[in-house]
Amino acid sequence: MRARTRIAVAVLALPLLTGLASCGEIQEAQQGLQDANQQLQGAQQTLDSAQACLRAINAANFVPNFADPQKAQADAQAKVAELEQLTSATADETLKQNLLDVQESVQQVADGKVDIEAGAEWTSAQLDKYQAVTTTCSRLAE
């Protein structure tokens, strides 16, 4: 009789034990999905930063044609608008400050404060600002 009782208890307990094992597997699968989701979000943030840096580097690479002052001013005004958008969309404070520096410099051209005589000096200073943007972006990519 005792043997039958033990067998009956074992048979009845088997689905319960199987269910508990399944719960553990479900929890492991859920944890795996959460980990994968976190990795995906991290990859998306890296991609967003890389895209922002690419746009920032392209914008900071601005050098107008000082031989045509009107076109230089018009191009600079368009670049200032682009830089304003990039700056407002940038999360990294260092990159944001770099872009503000570039924007301020380009604004001088847009305002007509930089002419062909001062163009070489402006271009040299602009190159320094461009290098600051690329340095910040290379740091962000690490």
Please name the residues in contact with 89: beta carbons below 8 A apart, sequence gap of 6 or more. 52
CA quadruple 35, 93, 103, 120: dihedral positive or negative? negative
| Intra-chain end-to-end CA distance of the chain, in Å | 71
Q: Would you give the DSSP letter of residue 97? A: H
Q: What value does the mean pLDDT take over residues 3-17?
A: 60
**Tens of pLDDT, residues 25-72:** 777 767 776 776 677 665 556 556 778 889 989 999 999 999 999 999
pTM equals 0.69
Greater model confidence, 50 or 113: 113
Q: In 3-state terms, what secondary structure has residue 127? A: helix
